Every structure is written in C-alpha cells, then in structure tokens.
Amino acid sequence: MTLLRILEYAHDLLKNTISKGDIVIDGTCGNGHDTAFLAQLVGSEGFVYGFDLQSQAITNTSSRVAQHGMDNRVELFHTSHSNLNKLIAEEHKGKIQGAIYNLGYLPGSDKTVITTPEETVSSLQQLIELLNHGGMAVVVVYHGHPGGEEEKHAVVSFAESLNQTHYEVLKYQFINQQNSPPFILAIEKKPE
C-alpha cells in the first residue's frame, strides 16, 4: 500500500461519497480541476456549484468544464464561498452530498488575495446545514502563506467544536514534512 498524497486522498474521499445525480459544491474553484472532477462524479444528472473570489479562477474553471462538455451541470459564482446559502437553489438545500475547499490563494496569481478565516468558517457553518446526512466536506488547508496560520486555526477550531453525535471529523496530515505542508479536514454529517 502507498500513502495517498493530499489531493489524491481528498479526491478518494469524495469518490466514496458522491454518486451520479448528486448535488455538490466546489468552495474554491481555482483553476477548475476540482470542479471538473466533481462534475464528472455527479454525471449529467447531477449538479455542481462553484465559488471563487477571483475572476481569473472563474474564467479558468468555466473553460475547463466547457472543454470537457460539462458546463451544463455547473454553475459558477464570482463571489466568496461565504455566500453559498444565498445562492444555492432552495430545492438543493439539505441535499448537498459533497464539497471541497482548497484554502489559500489561486496558484500562479496574486498571493495577497486569499481565503479568510471569517469567510471560510461562515461558509462551513452554512455548508454543514445544507449537507445531506452521509454527505462530506473535504477541506484542504494550505497555511504556509501570510494569513494561512490564522485561517488554519479558525477552521481546525470550528471542526473540533462539531458535536460528535452528528459529525465525524478526520484530519489527514503528513507530520514529517517541512514548510507548512497542507492537510485535510474531512467533515462527515452522520447518516440518520
């Protein structure tokens, strides 16, 4: 057996949670890799909501999903993930099966435009209410940049505070790597 790298493990968790026809969220579109991955998992019967603060991320993601012919199952929002409760269709609330967040900044862009502790915690609070029982949020925490440590502490504190009767939280981290390696927090809303 080989240990899965961080993004491989994040995708593996989602593969085991999401099925064709599901409703899912990409909280940080970035360059569109996760959005396209989610769109493939949900198939033509499912739907993906994607969020990002940077217009370049929305452009990159839109191009990537269109290139794969999956743009008809994806809706992108050029706004913070903290607005998800306002933008998710009413009929999808309580039916979100999975979500992924890659915290930090858009690779190859302005490193001062980052996800923030307040917006990320607000988004996660909203998301766990919208999650289907058995649904999962996978948060990849990048924290080696200015502002990253504060966001890491806020997100970990939020996850640790979740009632174990209703949620299970996993932390997946390589502890012998240098330079603030990313880690995963997986939050599962327990089945009823």
DSSP code per residue over 119-137? HHHHHHHHHHHHEEEEEEE
The one-character DSSP state at 121 is: H
Classified by CATH at the fold level, domain 6-189 comes out as Rossmann fold (3.40.50)
Q: With CA atoms as reference, report the closest residue to 142 among 106, 166, 169.
A: 106
Give dist(CA 188, CA 47) in Å, integer: 20
Give dist(CA 137, CA 73) in Å, integer: 20
Per-residue pLDDT reduced to its tens digit, 113-145: 888 999 999 999 999 999 999 999 999 999 988
Per-residue pLDDT reduced to its tens digit, 61-90: 999 999 999 999 999 999 999 999 999 999
Over 80: is that where the pLDDT of 110 sits? Answer: no
Domain map of the chain by residue range? 6-189
Per-residue pLDDT reduced to its tens digit, 12-31: 999 999 999 999 999 999 99
Average pLDDT over residues 151-172: 97
Handedness of CA 6, 57, 188, 23 (dihedral sign): negative
Instruction: Calculate the CA dihedral of residues 46, 76, 35, 73 and round it to 10 degrees.
Output: 30
Give dist(CA 61, CA 38) in Å, integer: 12
Q: Find where tokens 């999962």 sit.
A: 136
| pLDDT band, residue 106 (cuts 50/70/90) | confident
The pLDDT score that the predictor gives to residue 35 is 98
Over 90: is that where the pLDDT of 147 sits? Answer: no
Q: With CA atoms as reference, report the closest residue to 189 among 172, 171, 173, 169.
A: 169
